[in-house]
Amino acid sequence: MSAAGKAEAVRAMFTRIAGRYDLMNAVMTGGRHHAWRRLTAAAVAGAPDGPALDLATGTGDLALALRAARPDRPVVGADFSEAMLHHARPKLRARGERGVTLVAADALALPFPDKTFACVTSAFLLRNLADLTAGLAEMRRVTMPGGLVAALEITRPAVPGWSALFGLYFNRVVPLLGAAVARDRAAYTYLPQSVERFVTPPELARLMTRAGLRDVRYRRLGLGTIAIHVGRV
């Protein structure tokens, strides 16, 4: 599949599942995805003063976590699925959140000047990009000097026995949950496949360094199934 074809397929998939996205995240992770987003927000709380950009913001959960971690910091939540933003807006209104601005934007061609944001975050974006190297370069481009870039991603656990159990859950159970809860088995069959094809945490750290980020570090969570990477511009 071409890069353009993958981008359109991913956009269409997230458009289909937008209405059940939050519910599926809660079911799949036992609600732990909120804690992972809070930790990602905490990892960039020490960035310089200035706005934050949350890419693939979806329904706005990481944008809200960024605001909770630094209430003085305005946040731009960007997503290339209008359907996701449609579900994010009432969530923000219900919480009285006025510090988050939502925009439709492609992570590979961001409509922002260089060095605009104090920090740039993403949750579960990178493995969906048609061009990972270009995506990391864009994240670095729009981050001001001294700013931070953070990425929250699902990853394959390294412990052999647990890796097999996780693989059984992810490859067999998650598609069934997707069919029953989100009514979209194809989307939740793609999910484990995309993780299998994605780079390992050490490989992602090297790619972030090659993109020009400094002091890149990562930590594993969720018994090794989640990784948070952070680098400085």
In a domain, 180, yes or no: no
Q: What is the CA radius of gyration of the chain?
A: 17
Rounded Cα gap, residues 119 and 100, in angstroms: 14
Strands 143-154 and 226-232: antiparallel
Residue 83 pLDDT exceeds 90: yes
Rounded Cα gap, residues 151 and 136, in angstroms: 10
In a domain, 187, yes or no: no
In a domain, 150, yes or no: yes
In a domain, 108, yes or no: yes
Residue 100 pLDDT exceeds 90: yes
In a domain, 117, yes or no: yes
Rounded Cα gap, residues 224 and 158, in angstroms: 7
Using 50, 70 and 90 to split pLDDT, how confident is the model at 125? very high
What does the pLDDT average to over 36-55?
Answer: 98
Please report the pLDDT score of residue 46 as a whole number.
97
Rounded Cα gap, residues 225 and 151, in angstroms: 14
What does the pLDDT average to over 77-102?
Answer: 97
Both tokens assigned to 53 = 């950009």
Residue 59 pLDDT exceeds 80: yes
**Residue range of the domain that includes 47:** 3-159+200-232
Q: What is the CATH number of the domain that holds 98?
A: 3.40.50.150
What does the pLDDT average to over 197-205?
Answer: 96
In a domain, 79, yes or no: yes
Residue 162 pLDDT exceeds 90: no
Residue 91 pLDDT exceeds 80: yes
Both tokens assigned to 213 = 């980020």
Q: Give the number of domains in the chain.
A: 1
In a domain, 125, yes or no: yes
Half-sphere exposure of 121 (CA within 13 A, CB side): 30
Rounded Cα gap, residues 175 and 28, in angstroms: 10
What does the pLDDT average to over 46-66?
Answer: 98
CB 118 within 8 A of CB 147: yes
Is the full-model pTM beyond 0.85? yes
In a domain, 172, yes or no: no
